[in-house]
Amino acid sequence: MAELACLCAGGAGGMRPVVGIIACNRMTGGEPSVTVMRRYAEAAMRYGDFASLVVPSLPGVMAAGEIVGRLDGLLLTGSPSNVEPRLYGDAGVSDGPFDPERDAMTQGLIAEFRAAGKPIFGICRGFQELNVAFGGSLRRDLGPRHHSPEERDLPTMFGHRHDVALAPEGRLAVAYGRDSLTVNSVHYQGVDRLGDGLVVEATAPDGVVEAFSAGDVLAVQWHPEWDSDADADSQALFAAFGAMLRRR
């Protein structure tokens, strides 16, 4: 737990790492906008102890390779949109909403950051994007086991919780010093085929993969950004990402 809980010094004195936070494309006030929910940026910067810049998902006017050299890491957030099935070889019908520009931008960013050996932290949709980028596929049938009814308010939806078992001797199990966590769960998609080179870090009671890692990549299916001020385990995940940035 000490490794995860330690916020490495940097904010008070020297220059802090700068992380790119991916933005979604949404309608705001009747027109398209590039958007990051504040809870992601605020929780990540507070407990990871780094600065950040928002990365718009506009692959038609910018390329991932243009910015990778100017950033120290990448945060892939959750989103109401789903990854398009064609990206993982599934020709079946899938429910949206979709954000194809974010799909294109994140796949390019993941490739560039992996090539540069720079840390990536994925949350929910970001977890799914990473699995696809590593050659994996997604399932779309998780339903009420992992997602409360959408007509509920956000606190109730994000309060939908279950235990996850941490992989013995895995990075999370070693860092936390225990074999399980209780996490929130708001997702319909999840891992079907695990991507090449990814190591499972946590699983739900029904066997669904809830966290994985690979080198400087760490991703969780749950939402540590939600009510992070009241959850030491969530704070520790962001601190772990901050530590990854500083080790590099």
Residue 10 DSSP label: -
Q: Inter-axis angle of helices 38-48 and 232-247, to 10 degrees? A: 70
Query: Does the active-site annotation cover 225?
Result: yes
List 101, 112, 210, 225, catalytic entry? 225
Query: Does the active-site annotation cover 160?
Result: no
What does the block give as tokens for 242? Answer: 């901050």
List 124, 160, 187, 210, catalytic entry? 124
Query: Does the active-site annotation cover 8?
Result: no
List 146, 160, 187, 223, catalytic entry? 223
Burial 95-133 (b: 16+ CB within 10 A, else e): eeeebebbbbbbbbbbebbbeeebbbbbbbbbbbbbbbb
Tell me, what amino acid is at 66? E
Kindly give, in sequence order, each residue whose CB lies less than 8 Å from that of residue 67, ignoring residues fewer than 6 positions away: 20, 55
Q: Angle 61-66-72 (CA atoms, 0-180°, nearest 5)?
A: 130
Judged on CB neighbours under 10 Å (0-12, 13-18, 19+), 60 is: exposed
Q: State the alpha helices, DSSP H only, in the chain.
A: 2-5, 38-48, 100-116, 125-133, 154-158, 171-176, 232-247
Instruction: Tell me which residues are annotated as active site.
Output: 124, 223, 225
